[in-house]
Amino acid sequence: MSASPAVSSPDRWIVLKFGGTSVSRRHRWDTIGKLAKKRGDDNDARVLVVVSALSGVTNELTAIADGAVDSARRVEALAQRHREFAAELDLDVEAVLGARLSALQGLLADPRARSRTLDWQAEVLAQGELLSSTLGAAYLRAQGLDMGWMDAREWLHAVPPAPNQSEWSKRLSVNCTTAPSAEWRQRFATQPSRLLITQGFISRHQDGGTAILGRGGSDTSAAYFGALLGAKRVEIWTDVPGMFSANPKEVPDARLLTRLDYYEAQEIATTGAKVLHPRSIKPCRDAGVPMAILDTERPELPGTSIDGNAEPVPGVKAISRRNGIVLVSMESMAMWQQAGFLSDVFEVFKRHGLSVDLIGTAETNVTVSLDPSENLVNTDALAALSEDLARLCRVKIIVPCAAITLVGRGMRSLLHKLSEVWATFGQERVHMISQSSNDLNLTFVIDEADADGLLPVLHEALIDSGAMPVYEGGVFGVRWRELNGQFRPRPLPWWHDAGKRDALLRLAAKSTPTYVYDLATVRERARQLKAIAAIDQRYYAIKANSHPAILRALAEEGFGLECVSLGEIRHVLASVPGFAPSRILFTPSFAPPDEYRQAFELGVNTTIDSVEILQRWPEVFRGRRVWLRIDLGHGGGHHAKVNTGGKHSKFGLSVQRVDEFIDTARALGLTVTGLHAHMGSGIDNREHWRMMFDELAGFARRIGSVETIDIGGGLPIPYSEDDEPFDLEGYAAGLAEMKQVHPAFRIAIEPGRFLVAESGVLLADATQVIEKDGVRRVGLDAGMNALIRPALYDAWHDIANLSRLDEVRELDFGVVGPICESSDVFAQRVKLPATTAPGDVMLIADAGAYGFSMASTYNLRALPGEEVIDV
Ligand code: LLP
């Protein structure tokens, strides 16, 4: 490769395009000036600025070109608007705008105006950009910039029309040449100013008149200039931070796409995002000119870069929804083996000027979709189409439909990851599934009404399944919500504290694998729950973690202890000296009847959840006071396996059998003093408990003797950095509101995870680091026997290299254990320092709940140790 020349290369260009909203305010022009200068200086390049008309102006000009009756008034209003803006820019209105405004007014008097010839219309439409660029050039010069103005028509030339092009598109939706002559280059390079400004949207027609590039034309102008100049880069400056993985208005969790290849960007621009006009990508792609989409208000954000150099990253990059899709289903018995049927029906579409989007075929049916953004698909047009098609086949029009499209490279090899997506669609009626032949998109057509609210669900399913690889930091950036300050990141965990980290390293040196619990974190969570005034009684579900020090700490904080077995009850009584059995809540499930008998004898508050148990062992329950667990029929949680509600769950009395239960209980002299429900674990919807309380209060009134309503545990914690901390305030507010509605009942809760998960870490030694077929894995001396959550629920736990906590986490590793099972994997992919090596102390975070308590000695690996830090 030859060395780059030492002299500067002033003929290297950067093209910057600014849209309507970016040129309509004075402070925005200051930004344009600053950016143009900075881009030139930083890159030792010359800068070409391409601008749109002031916002709204092109719409007005279109009305005038269409012959609006009040055109004269509209022209005057436009003139006035530009005069006012010139004044706001402190320009000499007459000197800067006089000639331009007379040209605009002159067009109304032009003889062509009467018949509204297309060349006249093009000239009318061109005025908006001519005005805005003239104002901008004058303003930026007044600010001291060396800014030259040029007429884009001198430089962009429409290509000769294609044979089947309509007259309209030959003038008002043209394409331009992208191969400059030597003379063109020479002439361009010798323009005196270092910075230049010109118009988007307009070009020179073969006949020397004006031609228009069509909607989105300013992006395309910038792309043409970029291609002609062989520019270093084309930057499209807009009022959004770039392209997103979904429309952020519908999916606030959508991610900024920081880097795309031309083809993906083209597909996203075509099927969803309106940020960049799809036509603008091809010129840059053909010329190999990189593009960027950037936010004028927030120029410091990375934006979206589009180029052809990146290593392709397979996976879904974006999901979009288009409304108003029309499906035309054509049924013909005669179609079977009939040559030419498709050609006959498509000829009808062609005759009606309709361009077909998706196609599905069967032996006797062809279904196609029409996209309203490409076609005029009003009722008249469809009626006319149906009438003509009816001569060939049976026609059914299905409207309104929505097309949901997944875009990304390598769609075909992703199918195995899309099971959740299929499941989500499985609940809707899918009219059509279409996969693009370029392997870049997969589209589902469903009824428009079914599409409401679907995008956030699909977006999350795509991330959870790994089909949308948001961990690819080179492609996916921040969430929309974060950009708008609507994301509360989880605070840095306790083990980042230097003192605690040292303590952990000392404990790890003694023995691994070992769980370590930070009691200060347990107490902090306990106090957060104690601060919720609406709650009268708090239990801790000890199944999450029954370490005696934790039980004692929570007992000191005033918590009762919820147990699910006689074993847990005995453990509590042995570990917490003097703990009153009445502070224990026993919530067994299908337990042997003797456990109930013993619990009553100990004086433990006991929950039952069936009629059968009373019928089969009446003597155990006669005359007792109990709580009743009800299944409210709908559960939730972080995984299907922790959902404890509904027909498929073994827990709780069906609401259908409450009356039967009351009768049976009454016959036994049994008093129901509490109602209980726990519908799942890790529920991320703060409304859930409020609604539970409300529903249980209804049953409590029916029963009469109920004093306490226990709304269970299930509070989530933020396991990944994508999760926000639980909205405790919202939870508290909902309960306070319910307390006012049902003041007669005490509220009890019984969380496990929330109190202890974040307090615990699992420390393990790295045993081996191995590369296989491009995948780097670090092995630990802890396996799924020590922490089963990832294997059992696909649960995510962050993993850090505690020995190298200060090093950059730059490389992807799989983290695995020593157990003889394929599911012995803590993380398929987590970023760790590149230097990670055998002997390092690895930390698995947020393992305080359902960690040790679910550990086993599988493969005859010893149980992990347990330690407590209490400082
Ligand atoms: N109350 C009852 C009746 C329960 O069954 C449970 C949990 C809780 C309270 C406490 O739920 P928490 O607040 O911790 O979500 N092993 C799974 C969780 C299973 C939960 C079982 N029951 C996991 O690791 O995610």
Atom of ligand 1 nearest to the CA of 849: 24
Please tell me if the CB atom of residue 715 comes closer than 6 angstroms to any atom of ligand 1. Answer: yes
Is the CB of residue 276 less than 8 Å from the CB of residue 451?
no
CA distance 630 to 701: 14
- The single residue listed with the structure tokens 């490279």 is 409
Count of beta carbons in the 10 Å neighbourhood of residue 740: 9
Please tell me if the CB atom of residue 850 comes closer than 6 angstroms to any atom of ligand 1. Answer: yes
Atom of ligand 1 nearest to the CA of 637: 15
Task: Provide the β-strand partners of residue 44.
Answer: none
Q: What is the CA radius of gyration of the chain?
A: 34
Is the CB of residue 799 less than 8 Å from the CB of residue 833?
no
Q: What is the pLDDT of residue 3?
A: 39
Please tell me if the CB atom of residue 714 comes closer than 6 angstroms to any atom of ligand 1. Answer: yes
Instruction: Measure Cα distances from 321 to 151, 281, 315, 408, 868 in Å.
Output: 38, 21, 18, 15, 51
Taken as a whole, the chain contains a residue count of 871
In degrees to the nearest 10, what's the CA dihedral of 147, 153, 157, 162? Answer: 140
Please tell me if the CB atom of residue 678 comes closer than 6 angstroms to any atom of ligand 1. Answer: yes
Atom of ligand 1 nearest to the CA of 850: 24
CA distance 663 to 519: 46
Count of beta carbons in the 10 Å neighbourhood of residue 325: 28
CA distance 827 to 813: 8
Supply angle C-alpha 535, 540, 545, rounded to 5: 155
CA proximity to 277, closest of 236, 325, 322, 335: 236
pTM: 0.76
Q: Longest C-alpha distance within the chain, in Å?
A: 105
**Ramachandran area for residue 840 (φ above 0: left; ψ -120 to 50: alpha; else beta):** beta
Q: Which residues make Cβ contacts (< 8 Å) with residue 522, sequence separation at least 6?
A: 550, 553, 554, 755, 756, 759, 848
Secondary structure of 656-685 in HEC code, one letter for each residue: HHHHHHHHHHHHCCCEEEEEECCCEECCCC
Please tell me if the CB atom of residue 753 comes closer than 6 angstroms to any atom of ligand 1. Answer: yes
Q: What is the pLDDT of residue 570?
A: 98
Please tell me if the CB atom of residue 750 comes closer than 6 angstroms to any atom of ligand 1. Answer: yes
Atom of ligand 1 nearest to the CA of 714: 15
Pair of tokens at residue 464: 């959870």
CA proximity to 651, closest of 673, 625, 670, 677: 677
- Ligand 1 geometric centre to CA of 351 (Å): 64
Is the CB of residue 52 less than 8 Å from the CB of residue 132?
yes
Q: What is the pLDDT of residue 457?
A: 87
Please tell me if the CB atom of residue 645 comes closer than 6 angstroms to any atom of ligand 1. Answer: no
- Ligand 1 geometric centre to CA of 752 (Å): 6
- What's the distance, CA 530 to chain centroid? 34
Please tell me if the CB atom of residue 544 comes closer than 6 angstroms to any atom of ligand 1. Answer: yes
Domains along the chain?
13-238 (3.40.1160.10), 316-464 (3.30.2130.10), 519-748 (3.20.20.10), 758-869 (2.40.37.10)
CA proximity to 364, closest of 383, 345, 377, 381: 345
Q: Determine the 3-state secondary structure of 188 from DSSP.
A: helix
**Catalytic residue positions, numbered:** 820
Pair of tokens at residue 673: 């003093």
Helices (H), 352-415: 379-389
Q: What is the pLDDT of residue 335?
A: 60
CA distance 350 to 259: 37
CA distance 321 to 42: 39
DSSP 476-516: EEEEHHHHTT---PPPPPGGGSHHHHHHHHHHHHH-SSEEE
Is the CB of residue 841 less than 8 Å from the CB of residue 803?
yes
CA distance 409 to 775: 21
- Ligand 1 geometric centre to CA of 850 (Å): 8
- Ligand 1 geometric centre to CA of 672 (Å): 24
Atom of ligand 1 nearest to the CA of 544: 14
Pair of tokens at residue 550: 């934790």
Residue nearest to atom 3 of ligand 1 (CA): 678
Pair of tokens at residue 730: 């919202």
Q: Over the chain (871 residues), what is each successive 10-residue block's mean pLDDT?
A: 41 92 94 95 94 96 94 97 97 96 95 95 97 98 96 96 83 93 91 95 96 88 96 94 93 94 92 85 96 92 92 91 93 72 90 89 88 79 92 92 93 84 78 87 92 89 90 92 86 97 98 98 98 98 98 98 98 98 98 97 98 97 97 86 90 96 97 97 90 95 96 96 91 96 97 98 98 96 98 96 96 97 96 98 98 98 98 87
- Ligand 1 geometric centre to CA of 636 (Å): 12
Q: How buried is 234 (Cβ within 10 angstroms: 0-12 exposed, 13-18 middle, 19+ buried)?
A: buried
Q: What is the pLDDT of residue 337?
A: 62
Is the CB of residue 629 less than 8 Å from the CB of residue 606?
no
CA proximity to 652, closest of 636, 671, 676: 676
- Ligand 1 geometric centre to CA of 423 (Å): 26
Is the CB of residue 651 less than 8 Å from the CB of residue 678?
yes
Please tell me if the CB atom of residue 789 comes closer than 6 angstroms to any atom of ligand 1. Answer: yes
Is the CB of residue 345 less than 8 Å from the CB of residue 432?
no
**Pocket of ligand 1, candidates 641, 678, 728: which has the most ligand atoms within 8 Å of its Cβ, to mutate?**
678
**Pocket of ligand 1, candidates 692, 717, 753, 754: which has the most ligand atoms within 8 Å of its Cβ, to mutate?**
753
Is the CB of residue 272 less than 8 Å from the CB of residue 407?
yes
CA distance 227 to 290: 10
Please tell me if the CB atom of residue 790 comes closer than 6 angstroms to any atom of ligand 1. Answer: no
CA distance 528 to 530: 6
Q: What is the pLDDT of residue 7?
A: 40
Pair of tokens at residue 760: 């615990």
CA distance 323 to 93: 45
- The single residue listed with the structure tokens 């329950």 is 621
CA proximity to 85, closest of 133, 35, 19: 133
Q: Which residues make Cβ contacts (< 8 Å) with residue 266, sequence separation at least 6?
A: 278, 281, 282, 285
- Ligand 1 geometric centre to CA of 511 (Å): 29
Is the CB of residue 600 less than 8 Å from the CB of residue 579?
no
**Own/partner long-range contacts of 373-379 (Cβ < 8 Å, ≥24 apart):** 373/322, 377/324, 377/326
Sign of the alpha-carbon torsion through 408, 413, 417, 419: positive
Is the CB of residue 289 less than 8 Å from the CB of residue 231?
yes
Count of beta carbons in the 10 Å neighbourhood of residue 307: 18
CA distance 775 to 779: 13
**Ramachandran area for residue 771 (φ above 0: left; ψ -120 to 50: alpha; else beta):** beta
- Ligand 1 geometric centre to CA of 765 (Å): 29
CA distance 9 to 23: 29
Residue nearest to atom 20 of ligand 1 (CA): 681
Q: What is the pLDDT of residue 365?
A: 87
Is the CB of residue 718 less than 8 Å from the CB of residue 796?
no
